[in-house]
Amino acid sequence: MNTRAIALSARLRSELSDLAQIVERAQTLLKKAVEQDEDYYDGVALNLHSFYTGTERILEEIAKAIDGSVPEGAGWHRDLLMQMSAELSTIRPAVISHKTRHCLDEYRGLRHIVRDIYTFNLKPSRRFG
């Protein structure tokens, strides 16, 4: 394995470890929101936003290092998911399945909502994943 691949692998392992902590926090906050206080939904939304952003960083790293290109333009977030769900025959297999791509696209939508509205407008009944 070459030095670039080793460095990429180390960065991805670190990011995955951080994502595991974010998922755990979101689950804890969701449980508190359901059992105790609806205000915890704000924390759940923020952690799910962080989960998607971290996942996107991982996919972007793979696109840069292995594919040699990252989508650009207004729809680059969606295009990145498409790129990562496609097999590049002589370069790499698909990084994520089509099912995972659709799931992540839901989180991408939540990311947009969290960034663009006040948290009191979030709808806790909306389920992602």
CB of 90 within 8 A of CB of 59?
A: no
Structure confidence by residue, pLDDT tens digits, 87-123: 998 899 999 999 999 999 999 988 878 887 766 666 6
Taking only the tens place, the pLDDT of each residue in 52-95 is: 999 999 999 999 999 999 999 999 999 999 999 999 988 999 99
| Predicted pLDDT of residue 124 | 60
Domain ranges in the chain are 3-121
Show Cβ contacts of residue 84 under 8 Å, excluding neighbours closer than 6 positions: 59, 62, 63, 94, 95, 96, 101
pLDDT at 85: 97
pLDDT of res. 71: 97
- pLDDT at position 120 is 64
Give me the mean pLDDT over the 17-40 stretch: 82
Residue written as token pair 């009191």: 120
Pick 127 or 104 by higher pLDDT: 104
Q: Which tokens hold the place of 105?
A: 């696209």
Q: How far apart are CA 109 and CA 115, in angstroms?
A: 10
pTM of the full predicted structure? 0.75
The total of other beta-carbon atoms located within 10 Å of residue 89's CB is: 7
How much is the average pLDDT of 5-19? 90
